[in-house]
């Protein structure tokens, strides 16, 4: 967000200088900070010189009195930038998740304002933020490579599929257990509810693939996933299909194994496999299928005494296969919407 510094109060102008310099000290490029605040090309360098010679206090606003003083719009925007731009570790905290206490401590450090936890919660709510369970992202993830794959590689795959009359399927494997954590239920406060379920632990493996036209295929198996099992699954996927199949999947070693490559080559164009960028499971709509299975399967309705996990998983997957609208809905997720058409 850009600001016209001439419209800011003297206090806010002082604060702008301190925040801009702090961002550079935190590792951001001076040019990026300049752009984000709409500053003059050379303005920030004078502030940096002053801060390096005399410290940040030379740029900071004077200490403010009063408990629970509300933040200005400018300060509130800074809080929102902190949270949306990264995690607390970037600001010297050991914890990697935002809490009201950490936000309060950072506001105290940067703005010299004491804000209680309730007031911080109200502030975050007003900023359109909410407490959420975060997704994991590997440090090795290359966002530039992922952006290129979505904007350049995938359009080429789609164009080639259209030219050959092929259908694109997104494929993924999963392991399913009967003792996965249960979903929430209601009970008396302070007394954890008990749900009876089978004490026999079961585990099976499954593989599925879906297309944005509502096509869905699956297979449940008990063996370890290796090249032979993968080939058998691919044979089942293409059986009785007249159109060529394009499969997009992750870089599991089995998918790139010599045996699988030789099998695909022997099909002479009936099947083609394309590999997603590393550490990018969120690009695969089939990940959403397994999330759905885990949330609506044994996690919500535990196995009954003597019930088979293999049979339950088969039924759950078959219900998805019969519901084209549900299959298409997985492509409406923001992370995979690029593959919706």
Query: Tell me: the pLDDT tens digits for 54-78?
Result: 777 777 655 555 444 578 888 888 8
First to last CA, the chain: 33
Write down the pLDDT at residue 240.
87
| Higher pLDDT among residues 178 and 213, named by residue | 213
Query: Tell me: the pLDDT tens digits for 190-214?
Result: 777 666 665 667 778 999 999 999 9
309 pLDDT higher than 70: yes
Q: Is 323 helix (H, G, I), strand (E, B) or coil?
A: coil
List, by residue range, all CATH 3.30.420.10 domains of the chain: 145-189+200-339
Question: In the CATH scheme, what is the code of domain 145-189+200-339?
Answer: 3.30.420.10
CA nearest neighbour of 285 among 189, 215, 199, 191: 215
Query: Tell me: the pLDDT tens digits for 205-249?
Result: 999 999 999 999 999 998 899 999 999 999 999 998 989 999 999
Query: Tell me: the pLDDT tens digits for 253-273?
Result: 999 999 999 999 999 999 999
CB atoms within 10 A of CB 76: 16
Write down the pLDDT at residue 256.
93
Write down the pLDDT at residue 91.
81
150 vs 129: CA distance, rounded Å: 28
122: part of which helix (H) or strand (E)? helix 117-126
């Amino acid at each position: 967000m850009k600001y016209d510094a001439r419209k800011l109060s003297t206090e806010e102008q002082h604060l702008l200088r301190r925040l801009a310099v702090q961002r550079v000290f935190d590792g951001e490029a001076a040019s990026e900070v300049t752009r984000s605040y709409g500053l003059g090309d050379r303005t920030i360098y004078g502030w940096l010189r002053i801060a390096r010679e005399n410290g940040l206090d030379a740029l900071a606003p004077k200490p403010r009195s009063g408990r629970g003083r509300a933040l200005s719009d400018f300060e509130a925007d800074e809080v929102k930038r902190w949270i949306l731009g990264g995690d607390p570790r970037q600001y010297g905290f050991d914890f990697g998740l935002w809490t009201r206490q950490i936000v309060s401590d950072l506001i105290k450090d940067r703005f010299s304002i004491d804000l209680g936890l309730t007031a911080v919660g109200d502030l975050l709510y007003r900023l359109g933020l909410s407490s959420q369970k975060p997704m994991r992202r590997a440090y090795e993830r290359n966002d530039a490579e992922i952006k290129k794959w979505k904007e350049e590689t995938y359009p080429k795959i789609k164009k080639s599929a259209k030219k050959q009359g092929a259908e694109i399927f997104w494929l993924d494997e999963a392991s399913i257990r009967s003792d996965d954590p249960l979903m929430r239920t209601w009970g008396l406060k302070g007394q954890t509810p008990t749900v009876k379920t089978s004490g026999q632990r079961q585990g099976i493996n499954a593989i599925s693939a879906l297309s944005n036209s509502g096509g869905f295929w699956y297979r449940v198996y008990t063996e370890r996933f290796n090249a032979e099992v993968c080939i058998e699954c691919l044979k089942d996927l293409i059986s009785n299909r007249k159109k060529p199949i394009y499969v997009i999947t992750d870089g599991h070693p089995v998918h790139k194994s010599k045996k699988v490559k030789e099998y695909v080559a022997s099909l002479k164009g009936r099947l083609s496999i394309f590999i997603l960028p590393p550490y990018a499971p969120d690009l695969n709509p089939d990940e959403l299928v397994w999330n759905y299975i885990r949330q609506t399967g044994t996690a919500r309705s535990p196995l009954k005494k003597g019930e088979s996990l293999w049979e339950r998983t088969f039924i759950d997957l078959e219900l998805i296969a019969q519901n084209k609208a549900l299959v298409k809905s997985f492509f409406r997720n923001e992370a995979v919407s690029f593959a919706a058409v």
